[in-house]
Each structure stands twice: as C-alpha cells, then as structure tokens.
Structure 1
C-alpha cells in the first residue's frame, strides 16, 4: 500500500510539473490560457518581422495575439498564422488582417473590419494583407530623388578631385605649412623672450636707478651753476673782448707805433735793410775779427 501511494505521488508531481511548464511557456509568450479565445486563420505570402505572441489590434486596441505561425507545405509560398481573438469579438465577413511594421521593424496584425452584416464563424480564414514597411516606403520614395542626385554627386566629386589635384592648391597648402612653421618658430622665440623678461626688467630697473642718480647729480650741478657769479664773469669776458678788439683795431691803423710798425712799408724796408747790414757785419766779424778788435799787446 505504501509503495502504491509513493508512485502516485511521483506521478502527480510529474503531471503538475508538466502542466506548470506548459502553461508557464504560454504565459511567457504572453498567452493568457485562462482567458477564452476564438481562433481564426490567415494565410500570408510574407510574414517578415511577425512573431508568435505579436499583438492583434483593432482601432489601436489590443483584441488578441498571434497564437502560432506555421508554413503551409501543401500551399508553397504561403505561411499560416493562427490568431487568438477575444471570444466576445465578432469578425464581419470580408474583414482583413493586415501585417503592419513600425519604424523599428516590429510587426503587428491590424484588423480592418468590413461593413458586412454577417460574421465569420470561429476557425474561418480571414483575408491576409501585408503592408510595406515604413523603411520600404521610405526607400521607394527616396529612390527617384537618389537617382536624380547621383549625377550631381558624381559631378561634384569630379570637381572636388580636380580641385584637390590642382597644383595651385597644393602650392597654397605648402605655403600654409611654411607660414604655420614660421608662426611656430615666432611663438617659440616669443616664449623665450618672455622667459627672459624678468632679468631684462631687473636690468631696466638698475638703469632707471642710475638715471635717477644722474638726475640728482645734475640737479646739484644746476644749483651750483646758479650760485656762480655768471653775470660778473660775462661782464669781464665782454670787457676783455672789447680790449682785444681795440688792440686789434690799433694794429690795423697807422696812428700809433705798433700800427706803423705793422703797416708802414718804408719802415719795414728800413728795418729789413738794417737787419741785413747787421747780418753782413756779423758775418764779416766772424771771418775777420782782427779787423774790428785790435790785437792786445803784452808787455
């Protein structure tokens, strides 16, 4: 009896675990197994981006989800999608299930009800429509513009290539490089100059101090000059100058002895003749001294 009870417990545990695993997987897929649903089927030729548990919406409100996606091997090129819709939702005949893609590539199924008064039975096939994605629409819209732009881009690239290969531009770039190098050298020289500025400023300070000392000395000299009798000195100089002018004037006139000596030609000639006579006498005296000095008799 104990052995039978133990096997029963193990079997129940395995069954419970299997149920939990089954319902847990569906729950993780977003499928509410405790909510009643009606199942409909849609055949598509392209379900790109659509996945199991993708939402099914009506007027922007979620009314169900994708239950399963399988390939139709008996109808090549088609994919069967099973939709689980709210059991209260009645689908009019001729309604469409449209696969719509957002800009991120996520697909949803959008129900577009028809205006028919009769409704589909549960398990019927709905009309499947696949809308082009926003990326595809954008690509189709941009294709004409891109086609018209490409020749212009090609022309622009050709012009750019011609500009880049222009020798004048290359020379300009080289000149810019040379200017940049010169600026760098000037900056380095300026930095070195600024680095020596403290020593230069100290030297300038010493020079300024010396100039102050010289200025003070000049002020002292100026005061000494102010105290000198400059007026009396200038009067004496003027007096001396007047006397010299008077003497010079007398030398140029013949109304005085010095003037006559300097300006009388006859007197000059006489003095010159006397000088020559004296010179002749002295020469003869040197040659014949006995003629002028009698001999001394010794007794």
Structure 2
C-alpha cells in the first residue's frame, strides 16, 4: 500500500469522476451505455434539422434515440441517420422511418411498423425514410392564400374604420338604446297582459263556448219538422182569414168591404150628436119633473 501515493489516488479519483461524467452525460442524452441495443440506419433526402440524441418513437412509445447523422458523400442528396433501438423491437419488412416537424420547431422520428411479422429487418439494415412536415406544411400551404387575403383585409379594415368614424353611428346607437328601453317597457306590459287580462279573456271565451254548446244542444233537441208544420198551418189560417176579410160573402167581409155600413154609421153618429145638442138646449122636452105633481105643458 506504500506505492499508492497521494498522486495515484488523485489520478484514480479523476478517472472515476471522468467516467461518471461521461456516463451521466450519455444518460441525460438517453444513451444507456451498459444496456444492450441494436442499430439500424434510415436514409433521408432531408433531415429537416434532426439532431443527435433525438428520441425515436414507435406507435407513440419511445424505443430508441438518434446516435449519429452523417451525409452520404458516395450518394449525394442522401443523409444517413444511425438509430439505436431496443433489442426487443422487431422491425417488419415494409416499415419506414418518418420525420415529423413539431409545432415548436423540433423534429421527431417515428418508426412506422408494417403488418408483416414473418419478415423483418436485420440489425444494421437501412430503413427507407420519409419527411412529414405535419402542421407546418399545412401552414406553409396556407401562406400564399393569406398573402392574397391581406389586401382585401386591409380594404375591409379601412371600410370598417370609415364606418365607425361616421357621425350617424352615435345617433343610431342612441336610437337603438331608446328602442331597447321601449321594447323593455312593451315586454313588461305584455307580461302583465299575459298574466292578468289573457286568463280573464280565456275564461270568458270558455264561458261563451260553453253557452254555445248549450244552445247547440237545445237546438239539436228541437223538432224542426213539427215546428215548420205548425208555422205552415198558421200561415194557411192567416191566408184563409185574409181571404174571408177580402170576400163579401161573410159578416166580417161585409163589415170591411161594404161602404154603406160606413155611411150608416156616419149618419147615426151625426144624428146622435144632433140629439145631444138638442137635449142640452131643450132638456124639458125630454125630461118632465114636478115637485107637486103638476105637469108642464
């Protein structure tokens, strides 16, 4: 132990600290140095800003990380991405690697697993890759349309500003306020009408309806045939009476149609009037009265 000097101890401690630092940095990057893993390659024409140590997902679950990104100088226009995946993951033939642009600017790799479990990629094989800009691609497609709409929006805003600066707007708003107040008053009156007058009117209408029903029932019970028969008989009797009054073969007919009866009655009335006048003028001619029984000549 005498050979383990202070300097050796410091060196050993430095080496251990360096190893711990390297392991910690790799662990923070998602690289597990002592965990077995398998390596695959994915070929892209553009990695769109993909960085090392980026997570790799399959069906939404993290299954590995990006270990290395390098340009394929032997085949220009292609970028090779080395990914480290879990050893338990099996990649069927027909699967592909997809780069998805996220909303915050990052890029995520997804392994799109095919449904062919019999055939699979071996460790170290190259998987075809595709680029999916996602929402950012849709936004980029919308930008030309937005640029075309900007002049129209500017014109709409100018027209709206001119409309709002119109002096008639405050008067219109005041009129609307007055109209709203009037509508509130009318609504209150209508509410009172509906709560008081309408129920009374409905009750009266119900009473009138009941009376009509009663009258209808009474009219339904009337024997119209007998009533009409009685009316016809009465009219026939009136007709017979009228014919007899117009005829001279009966007493009433003679009384109404013979002028001599009228003349006789007129003469009799005149004679009666003359007799009354003579009676008033000469009562002694018609009445004899004596206290002692003497008769006047």
Length-normalised TM-score, structure 2? 0.47
Greater gyration radius: 1
